[in-house]
Every structure is written in C-alpha cells, then in structure tokens.
Amino acid sequence: MRETALHFRTITEIAERIASQQLSPVDITTAMLTRIDQLDAQLMSYATVMADAAIAAAQQAEREIESGTYRGPLHGVPIAVKDLCFTKGVRTMGAAKVLANHVPTFDATVITKLEAAGAVLLGKLNLTEGAMGGYNPEFDIPKNPWNPDRWTGSSSSGSGVATAAGLCSGSLGSDTGGSIRFPSAACGIVGIKPTWGRVSRYGVLALAESMDHVGPMTRSVADAGIMLEAIAGSDPNDPTSLPNPVPNMLEGIGQDLQGIRIGFDENYATNDIDTELAEAVCAGVGILADQGAEIVEVQLPNVDEYVSAWPTLCSAGAVAAHAATYPSQRDAYAPWFRGWLDMGAKVTGADYARANNLRAACTGHLRRVFEAIDVLVCPSMSAPPHAVTPEMLYGQYEARDPKFQRFTVPFDYNGAPTLSVPCGMNSEGLPLSIQFVGKHLTEPLLCRVGHAYERATPWHDLHPDI
C-alpha cells in the first residue's frame, strides 16, 4: 500500500484492511469525523454531520465483521451523500430555505442500498439551491480545496469538496446538466454519471426528472465502480429505473484496451476550449492508444445549438418539481433559483415541444456517432475551475454560453453513462479532467477504460494540501 494518509486512501485500500481486520470501521469513522470537525469550518462541505449515527453504524459493522459476516467492499467504509437524498429522521433540505425543516419519514433507495452494503453514512453534503446554479445565503457555500476562490462545480459541490479533501471516502452526487462531472473536474476526483435509470431516483429531490441522474464521486475509478454497483438496480418505487441486472462494475478492470474503439473528435474537444485542458485531453488520447485502444476519428455535430434548449427543459422541469412551494413561497427562494423558476413558469407548451425536438435531434446524432465506436473521449468541462464572486453565487440567474455545457448536457439528454477522471494540473495548480462516454449500460467498460488511463498516469494520486 502506498504511503498515503488514511483519509486519502481509496475505498479499495480501506476495504482490504477492514476485511482483514487490520483497520477498525470505528477507528476510520472516528478519524473522518475528527477531520470534518477540524477542517470543514473552512471547507463547508457538510450541511449535516450525522456523528452519532455514523459511530453506531461503524460499531455495528465492526461487530458483524468480527463475527464473520462481511458484506463487501463498502462494509464499514465512511461515505457521505448530497443533501437531496432522503434520510429518515434527518433533514433533507436541497439547500432551499423552503425545505429547511423537511425531515423525511423514509430513506431514499440509494440510502437503503448503501446501508445494505454496510457503508457508514457520515452525513449530508451542501449543494446549490434546488441543485441548480446559485446558492441560498441561508446555507454554506463549499470551498474548492485546491483554491478557495475558484468554482467548486455548482450543484454537487459539497460532494466534490468532501471527497477531494478526504472528509469522506466517497460520496453521491446528482447530474442534470453536469453536476457530477463539473464538481469532479473542479475538485480533481472521479465521477460516474450512470445510464439514466440505472440508479433509482426514489426519495431524491428532483430538478428535472427526465434528465436527473444519481451517481458516485470518489478518488479512484475502481471506487466509483464499487459504489455504483451498490446503488444500482431496479426499484419498484421508481418505475423509470431499469430492469436490467446489475453487472460486476469492475469486470475486466485490470485488462488493457485491445479491441476497444475509442472515438475522438478533435474539433469538438479542443475548439474554443482552454488550451491547457485541450492539450491534456489530447495527451490522454495518446495514452489510451498506448494501452491498446483503437482511436477512431469521429465527427460530432455542433452540439451548442442543441445545448441551448436545455434551460427551457430544465427550468420547466424545476417548476414541476417545486410545485408544492412555488409560486406559493416564491419569495423564500434566493434570487438565482427564483429567477430560474420564474423563467420555467413562462415556458409554453410550444416552447417545451421545440426544446424537446432539439433534445431528440441531438440524441439521434449521437446515436449515429456511436455506431462506429465503443467509447467517446472529450473533456469533462470546457475550462479549469473559474474564479467566483458573490454576484455569481448569490446574484440573479444569467444565461451562460452553451459551450459551458457542451460536454455534459448532450449525455443528460440521451442518458448515456459517463466517467470523469483527473488528467492533469494546469499552470495555476488547478485540476483538469477527461471524460469517457459509453453506450447505455456500459459502465463496466467505462471503468475498464478509466482504470487503464488511471494506471498509466499519476493524477489520481494528487491531493490538495489543506
């Protein structure tokens, strides 16, 4: 085992030590809670720390393991979840003042599955209001552990910060327009946006249900596969969850990439994109070729015109999701998300139909691109984490250039799985990220590709100096 501080060790490493009883679930949980207590006042990743419940769960895990009952690689491992996931008896607020006193009477399916796997839940993580772009001043704003003045990736920001800073061994985020990939990229960690429907959304506060995905954020590709396998599967409480069996997400993960066709559109990946990021992604393509992959030149359409339809679809979806509190409690929302809801309330049926037609067209183009390839490679976002100001975080909603979501929204539209992996550091010491996109239900292949890339590069071993 490499000489890495315990709080930065991967789930895979921790699981090996717990299974062999070299490491106590109580000891690592206590260490994580101590680190949260010491550091999170400056990083502000947690909305709620569940210390007593975490210690109790760790004690139970320890008793089970000592008695010969070992549930698998998450047993006794301390994790955290985005504060969209219902937890029975614990506030689930979605960073919205209107939900500040919302205490669910049941657990989300993802929570039930994590507990069944023996994971120890440390607490609930901060996010943007309603899982969109801006924060409510009633809640803390997570700080990027690489540079507190830089963006943390928007919605699943607490998940990105806590995982990167070693305040949990892994976390759950959600992604409707990029909110697993953006914070993973901004904080220098791994994130999987699964196939839409692979993970149940039952008991998860919605933003726009037809594009919402729940997935893991971790410090290694194998860890992301482990967490995804634990939370995936059909759920009778969510009719949109897929009936397909859950595969071994780590199947073939140690193999090279012989026979894998990886598509690359250099124009799509580099045009009008940060230069250092583009260079890192192009270098990544070369590394994949060295691992045995066949690099296939593909051509994507100009997706920016299709991405421009996303605000119409998402804002209208958000109005439906918040029907219980908007517009009846409109003034309780902060300016950013209030403006988003106001915009969605003005969307007509014809507006939505036009936007949905653009979504369908984008999906059709991508389907044709994937006829010749197994995996597409591109950046996770268009630039390293940008500088932030209070106006950006708390101010009015302002439309962004479609290129901002060029590498995220098309795969929320079509529900294809994606994997984001660190691919370098820029000249300012900020993380860069490469993204692998697969066909539906090919998460094990993405893990194989991502692990092969990770094995050949040092970037996943870098951690912020806090």
CATH number of the domain enclosing 301: 3.90.1300.10
Active site residue 169: no
Q: Which of 45, 154, 155, 156 is catalytic?
A: 155
In a domain, 445, yes or no: yes
Query: Is residue 28, in this structure, part of any structural domain at all?
Result: yes
Amino acid 392: pLDDT: 82
Contacts with 286 (C-beta within 8 Å, 6 or more apart), sequence order: none
User: Per the residue annotation, which of 45, 154, 171, 179 is the catalytic one?
Assistant: 179
The answer as to whether 426 is a domain residue is: yes
CA 69 from centre of chain: 31
> What pLDDT score was predicted for residue 3?
65
- The answer to whether position 96 is within a domain reads yes
For the chain, the 3-state helix, strand and coil shares in percent, each to the nearest 5, are 40, 15, 45
Distances (CA, A) of 4 to 7, 397, 459: 8, 42, 14
Structure tokens at 291: 């691992």
Classify residue 404: in a domain, yes or no. yes
**Quick one: which of 220, 293, 287, 217 has its CA closest to 255?**
293
Half-sphere exposure of 461 (CA within 13 A, CB side): 10
Specify burial of residue 88 (Cβ count, 10 A radius: 0-12, 13-18, 19+): middle
Q: Give the separation between CA 223 and CA 417, rounded to whole angstroms.
A: 16
End-to-end CA distance of the chain: 22
Structure tokens at 454: 């990770």
Q: What is the 3-state secondary structure of 402-440?
A: HHHHCCCHHHHHCCCCEEEEEEEECCCCCEEEEEEEECC
pLDDT score of 1: 39
Whether 155 is catalytic: yes
Taking the whole predicted model, whether its pTM rises above 0.85 is answered as yes
Give the DSSP H or E segment for 343. helix 335-345
The total domain count for the chain is 1
Residue 418's nearest CA partner among 452, 445, 400 is 445
- 398 within a domain of the structure (yes/no): yes
Q: How many whole angstroms separate alpha carbon 137 and alpha carbon 129?
A: 9
Cβ-in-10-Å burial (0-12, 13-18, 19+) of 296 comes to: middle
Assigned domain for 377 exists: yes
Crossing angle of helices 157-164 and 25-43, rounded to 10°: 120
Of the residues 82, 97, 113, 193, only one is catalytic, namely 82
Contact 306, 413 (CB under 8 A): yes
Report if residue 1 sits inside a domain: no
Q: Give the number of other CB atoms < 10 A from CB of residue 29.
A: 26
Q: Which two tokens stand for residue 425?
A: 């550091």
Q: What's the CA gap between 252 and 258, in Å, rounded?
A: 12
The answer to whether residue 241 is catalytic is: no
Q: Where in the sequence is the domain holding 222, given as residue range(s)? A: 6-461
Full pLDDT tens readout for the chain, 466 residues = 346 899 999 999 999 999 999 999 999 999 999 999 999 999 999 999 999 999 999 999 999 999 999 999 999 999 999 999 999 999 999 999 999 999 999 999 999 999 999 999 999 999 999 999 999 999 999 999 999 999 999 899 999 999 999 999 999 999 999 999 999 999 999 999 999 999 999 999 999 999 999 999 999 999 999 999 999 999 999 999 999 999 999 999 999 999 999 999 999 999 999 999 999 999 999 999 999 999 999 999 999 999 999 999 999 999 999 999 999 999 999 999 999 999 999 999 999 999 999 999 999 999 999 999 999 999 999 999 999 988 888 888 888 899 999 999 999 999 999 999 999 999 999 999 999 999 999 999 999 999 999 999 999 999 999 9
